[in-house]
Structure 1
Amino acid sequence: MKKMQRALLVWLGCLVFLAACSGGNNNPGGSNAEPAAPGNSGETPVNAETDGELPHVELIWYYGVSQVSPDQQKIEAEVNRIVEEKLNATVKLRPIDFGSYTTKLNTASAAGEKFDLVWTANWAFNYDENVKKGAFIPLDELLEQHAPETLKAIPSFTWDATKYQGEIYAVPNYQTITSRYGASIRKDLADKYGFDASTVETLEDLEPFLALVKENDPSITPLMLTGPGTKFEPFMYGFDDNGIRIGDDTFKTQILEETPEYKSFVELMHSWFEKGYINDDASTVKQIDALYNGKYASGLESAMKPGYEAEKKASNGGYDVIGIPLTEATTRRTSNITTLTAVSRTSANPERAVMLIELVNTDPELYNLLSFGIEGTHYEKLDENTVRIDPNASYRAQNWVFGNVFNGYLVEGQAPDTWEKTKALNESAFVQPTFGFSFDDTAVKAEYANVMAVKAEYEPLLMTGTVDPETYLPEYLTKLRNAGAEKVRDELQRQLDAWVAENVKS
């Protein structure tokens, strides 16, 4: 009997010891906590039955803005009033101007800095590149558990565009998912000169307007371009993003820089630069910010959508603009990944980070606060769904950075049915035949990196017309070939052929 009692006491002691060890490591929000494995931070899932509340955590969120606002701390305080009540969490908002966003985030990510949410895109802090580097965690299970409404609200083909090797690595900030290229011109100047915008059917047709501005208003730049932001838009010239001519059912890709269309574009830009139509600092300017408001007459656009003119007015010093589409609307993979929110691999609280994504995408008060600021301070409501933004307000942000724009206000000048028309355009736009294809550069990683480095050197100069293509284009093409462009093209073709065989019906 005594032997049995001793054995029972030893067994109970072991249970107490194990319980103590287990409880001692449960510190997901502690300052010394290491990043948890993806999908396993140690937090109690929000949909799990539990007698207690979720432990309080602090999240860090990086995102891009046109300029960091003086009232940022006021916005953060209001954001945390909502987030703390609903998620028992607080958020440190870390906005960075778009001009330096990629450089700063590349540095932070490479250094293993701990943060939770991060804005990414195909044009800044590149989504595909960072997925391949392992900068983000896969989100499929986390979205099912903690963001089911967001998962349902976004079309399946948009989710497909985010996938890498079958898994989702970021949440699209759902907005227009179409590309429609063209130009915008200031309406007051068009009226002043008697310029009929309907006469512009091609990019070349814009030149008479540029000449009028140059002749009559020398203090205004006729065409404002930025180095990283000005691209050769393939669809405007009949190609898709993979260098395949639209309508070519052989799906033969080519190096776009070697096409006659590319040569014509850079020649046109150079002729305009030489005539003084383009800003002298075009190749080095990274973004159009408040310094340029009212100082330029036109710009090239890639996302012309319902309500576009009103949005442009709000970000262009209050000047009305006329949008001039030069193509039909098309949807493709890149137009579906122009703005996304990912969870960093260094996040200690990935579940709570995804809960915050769900909250931003389902709580209009929180979404509009991030997008427009504080009512009465940064904007005024004209009706239940429309706001007038104060052009001199001390808070500026882009609504498409944070979440689903269809949950947000319209801005003054946008028609009441803008969101309905945008959704209809999303559903009716021409779908490029290679939609869903994503190039994997693993087999040509060195060559691909070398090609991208050459592009980064020459594109800002050629795209803005700063240099003479007669000299620089042959030099550029030689360097592309030496960097391995043909090998990259051949690998792209191999993958495309395999993808077409599996996905395209004959």
Structure 2
Amino acid sequence: MKHTVLRRIRILTILLSVLLLAGCLPDSGRQDGSSRTEPPPPVTLKIMVPGERSSDFDLVIREAERRLADSGISIKLQMEFVPWNDFGTRSQVALSSGEEIDLIFDAPWLHLNEMIASGYYEPLDVLLKQYGPTIIAKRPHQMWDANRFRGHVMAIPLGVSHVMSHSYFVRKDIREKHGVPPIKNYEEMIRFAYIVKEKEPDLVPLIAGGTRSQQLYSQAAFRHYHDSASHLRPTQALDSSLMLYYQHNNGKVHNVFKELDSPVRKWVEEARILYTDGIIHKDVLGIKDFQEPGMAGQVAIFPTGSFYVGELAQETLKEHAPEGEWEIATFFDDVPGANISDFSQWNFIAVPVASKHKEEAIRFLNWANEKPNYDLLAYGIQGTHWEPVGDDKFNQRNTRYNQSAFVWIWNPEDERILESDARTERLWRFIRDADNFVPDILTGFEFDSTPVQAELDRFNRIEAKYYTPLFNGVLDPDYAWSQFEAEAGQALEAIEEELQRQVDAFLSR
């Protein structure tokens, strides 16, 4: 009898153990008898972008994370903001060292093609098809077709238009003080700059981009953005330089060293006159952010990539010059058919190969490209930071949230137009309509740098010494051109010939 009882106890013990392992018994810590299932911890996405963190940024991100959770997406956002002038170096070091980053800003004028060629970015075709249908739908086919790399989507284009909205910030209060009419063309702007020099001795008339990363914003190079007569524009081989350029729409590559009558040389000569006359800031090459002196009330004119002046720019100026006011002077030709576009974009967001959360990164961007979420991340909390005006415009209530959408989520369908004057709104709508532009015959062309990579490396090193000093008038072109050519002419000619060969092959297909 005693052995029978012990045997039964052992059997019950075994059965209980099996039931516990199988999870068939209720959790003794739960009164309702249900199983304890802990949700997985949220994935933290690490995102690196250029710019500065707004004072209300964390407030907006908390709201975004709440909405993500309500949508069933368990994601936290960890943003690293890097000053614009430091971003190229910081991002390159991060990528080359394999730092864990899930989304990162890049651009052709920064080092996008180099990073793609180095294998640092994940191809996104499959990920977008699986997890990014909204990302795809919010961009027109011209944008996708023109921004592939060797046939693949290597980064998501961030753009809302088919050309950039280049213009100049001009001190409206100073212009009106001296009875100067609104500026309508470049010549009138330069005349105003000389008036500033004569009558406002404490104010620098003009500044432009003086660092390597800003060379298309240098005084001479910026002129090409308003060159609708010859459509002069950079090439795919040197996409932030005018030392090689296209003109008109015929596929011919031009080399500044070889063409003494080049418009580029004329612009450089004019920049030299402006510099020696004291119109261009004397320290133009030493200022990392060329817009800062203007915002500090020290400069009357500087170039910009926008058709309108934001509230933050006005507020910053008034902190230093209480009577100060900015206005825009643009010389863009808004006649349909007057401009050429290859529909390429200037800003991109990429997923590094080192990311451990590639799927979640695309799922987040897909969520961010839904209209209510885009409004939140682009403009802040409605009623606190901004108010809608109709379906596609907005008013900014304050600048406590002022984060650039173009560094991480920009898309042309959801981006709103800041309510402004009728001409500015018309210009914004104009550049968003692909039908207003003549397609570039090289739309979709990609330059393979492999055959001339050594020459490209050599040329880029040499160009860094000459380009911005020449294009801002600091160097005398009478001798600087010859020095520049003696050092870099052979390398540039090799690049030119290879580019022309590839262009001809592309056009003959």
TM-score w.r.t. structure 2 length?
0.77
1:399 aligns to what?
Answer: 405
Q: How far apart are 1:63 and its partner, in Å?
A: 0.9
1:272 aligns to what?
Answer: 274
Letter in 1 for 2:303: L
The partner residue of 1:144 within 112, 115, 129 is 129
1:60 aligns to what?
Answer: 46
Q: How far apart are 1:135 and its partner, in Å?
A: 1.5
2:507 aligns to what?
Answer: 500
CA displacement 1:87-140 (0-9 Å, x = unmatched): 11111011112111111101111111011001111223x222211111211111
Q: Distance in 2 between matches of 1:417 and 1:180?
A: 12
Letter in 2 for 1:354: I
After superposition, the Cα gap between the structure-2 partners of 1:198 and 1:289, relative to the gap in structure 1 and judged at 3 Å, is closer
Q: Distance in 1 between matches of 2:125 and 2:311?
A: 33
Q: What aligned pairs does 1:69-84 form with structure 2 within 5 A after superposition? A: 69-84=54-69
Deviates more, 1:347-356 or 1:260-269: 260-269
Count, aligned residues = 438
Bigger radius of gyration among the two: 2
Task: Answer whether contact 1:60 1:115 (CA < 8 A) is retained.
Answer: yes
The partner residue of 2:301 within 298, 305, 312 is 298
Structure 2: unaligned runs, 5 residues or longer: 1-37, 236-243, 319-324
Q: How far apart are 1:295 and its partner, in Å?
A: 2.9
1:411 aligns to what?
Answer: 418
Structure 1: unaligned runs, 5 residues or longer: 1-51
1:10 aligns to what?
Answer: none
Q: Distance in 2 between matches of 1:70 and 1:217?
A: 35
Matched, 1:172 2:161: no
Task: Answer whether contact 1:270 1:465 (CA < 8 A) is retained.
Answer: yes
Task: Answer whether contact 1:257 1:263 (CA < 8 A) is retained.
Answer: no
Letter in 1 for 2:406: W
Task: Answer whether contact 2:184 2:330 (CA < 8 A) is retained.
Answer: no
After superposition, the Cα gap between the structure-2 partners of 1:419 and 1:271, relative to the gap in structure 1 and judged at 3 Å, is closer
Letter in 1 for 2:407: V
Task: Answer whether contact 1:331 1:430 (CA < 8 A) is retained.
Answer: yes
Same amino acid, percent of matched pairs? 23
Q: Distance in 1 between matches of 2:232 and 2:425?
A: 32
Deviates more, 1:137-146 or 1:324-333: 324-333
1:191 aligns to what?
Answer: 176
The partner residue of 1:481 within 466, 469, 489 is 489
Q: How far apart are 1:146 and its partner, in Å?
A: 1.0
Q: How far apart are 1:465 and its partner, in Å?
A: 1.6
1:208 aligns to what?
Answer: 191
2:253 aligns to what?
Answer: 253
Letter in 1 for 2:327: V
Query: 3-state SS of the aligned residue for 1:163?
Result: coil
Task: Answer whether contact 1:223 1:279 (CA < 8 A) is retained.
Answer: yes
Letter in 2 for 1:246: Q
Query: 3-state SS of the aligned residue for 1:407?
Result: coil
Q: Distance in 1 between matches of 2:388 and 2:292?
A: 25
CA displacement 1:360-417 (0-9 Å, x = unmatched): 11143x333333344566x343756422253xx4443223223225424443426696
CA displacement 1:70-100 (0-9 Å, x = unmatched): 4443343333223333311111011112111
Task: Answer whether contact 2:50 2:105 (CA < 8 A) is retained.
Answer: yes
The partner residue of 1:469 within 477, 486, 493 is 477
1:321 aligns to what?
Answer: 327
CA displacement 1:223-242 (0-9 Å, x = unmatched): 12121324225462642323
The partner residue of 1:491 within 495, 498, 503 is 498
1:163 aligns to what?
Answer: 148
Letter in 2 for 1:91: L
After superposition, the Cα gap between the structure-2 partners of 1:300 and 1:131, relative to the gap in structure 1 and judged at 3 Å, is same
1:127 aligns to what?
Answer: 112
The partner residue of 1:343 within 332, 351, 374 is 351
Q: Distance in 1 between matches of 2:269 and 2:189?
A: 15
Query: 3-state SS of the aligned residue for 2:330?
Result: strand
Q: Distance in 1 between matches of 2:197 and 2:381?
A: 40
Q: Distance in 2 between matches of 1:499 and 1:81?
A: 49
Task: Answer whether contact 1:253 1:489 (CA < 8 A) is retained.
Answer: yes
Q: Distance in 1 between matches of 2:55 and 2:145?
A: 38
Q: How far apart are 1:442 and its partner, in Å?
A: 0.8
Aligned-pair RMSD on alpha carbons? 3.1
Q: Distance in 2 between matches of 1:146 and 1:180?
A: 32
Q: Distance in 2 between matches of 1:427 and 1:312?
A: 33
Letter in 2 for 1:175: V
After superposition, the Cα gap between the structure-2 partners of 1:245 and 1:442, relative to the gap in structure 1 and judged at 3 Å, is closer
Q: Distance in 2 between matches of 1:399 and 1:264?
A: 36
Q: Distance in 2 between matches of 1:321 and 1:414?
A: 11
Task: Answer whether contact 1:177 1:331 (CA < 8 A) is retained.
Answer: no
Q: Distance in 1 between matches of 2:397 and 2:431?
A: 24
Task: Answer whether contact 1:225 1:282 (CA < 8 A) is retained.
Answer: yes
Q: How far apart are 1:212 and its partner, in Å?
A: 0.8
2:204 aligns to what?
Answer: 221
Task: Answer whether contact 1:451 1:485 (CA < 8 A) is retained.
Answer: yes
Letter in 1 for 2:452: V
1:433 aligns to what?
Answer: 441
CA displacement 1:42-65 (0-9 Å, x = unmatched): xxxxxxxxxx98873111111111
